[in-house]
Amino acid sequence: MSAPTLDPRQPRAVALVTGGVRGIGRVVARGFARRGEHVHVTWRSSEALARSAEAEFGEGRAHRANALDEARVRACVQRVVESEGRIDHVVHAVGEYESGALESFSADDFRRMFASNVESAFLLAQAVRPALRASRGSLVFMGCAGLAGLRGRQQVAAYAAAKSALVVIARSLALEEAEYGVRVNVCSPGIVPHEHAAADTLDPRRVERVPLRRAGTPEEVAEAVLWLCSSAASYVTGADLPVAGGWQA
């Protein structure tokens, strides 16, 4: 897809949030909407949530797309560009989570973790490059706290390994896209309970080990993402921003 020509009649910024019909992605999408941006979201299987997202963000702004289907991802991006004339911010809030020791994982489980968290991010980045180059926009991936030290994990090894690979992808994209003015960053939540979070996120024993002595909120994560997609962060690229209350620091 060639770089689109920005429509001068469209003064508002446009945000695309993959997985934006539920969880943290939905809260991020609401944050963009509150900023006055035109918001588009993607969904895979939650049709009822997609309908509610269209009611909230506007008709035709919830797009069904399997994040691992390259053709559908590209078609989704193209639909947004054709309808809006631009894309300024992209947030990838897609990625399965599964806990457990590596011994308990099958080969298919392990592959699925990397496909969902890393391959999906790569496919999206390839699809949105031209639009973001045209707008000199921003791309944010969702990571997880505590990746800097590359420490071993007893219960989330596969997930942390996939998110570590994602950070390398993000930083590599940041280098590649810098000459075009595109910024690429990662926002890494810690323990953030929400309606669609994994059950072990609610384990009070984990929360007790957070230095700030509490779990985070989706709104706090969303504020960090919105900051990364703002002029206040115009000189920030290739960063992994933890929003974790000191968890795994």
Query: What are the structure tokens assigned to 65, written together?
Result: 């797309």
Give the containing element (helix H, strand E) for 26. Answer: helix 23-34
Contacts of 216 (CB under 8 A, 6+ apart): 189, 190, 191, 192, 243, 244, 245
The Cα–Cα gap between 89 and 67 comes to: 17
DSSP string, 21-64: TSHHHHHHHHHHHHTT-EEEEEESS-HHHHHHHHHHH-TT-EEE
- Confirm if 215 and 246 have CB atoms less than 8 A apart: no
How many of the other CB atoms lie within 10 Å of CB of 233? Answer: 18
Active-site residue flag, 159: yes
Give the residue carrying structure tokens 């969904």: 43
- Active-site option among 97, 159, 180, 235: 159
Query: What are the structure tokens assigned to 33, written together?
Result: 């909407």
Residues in the chain, overall count: 249
Q: What is the DSSP letter of 149?
A: T
For the annotated catalytic residues, the residue numbers are: 159
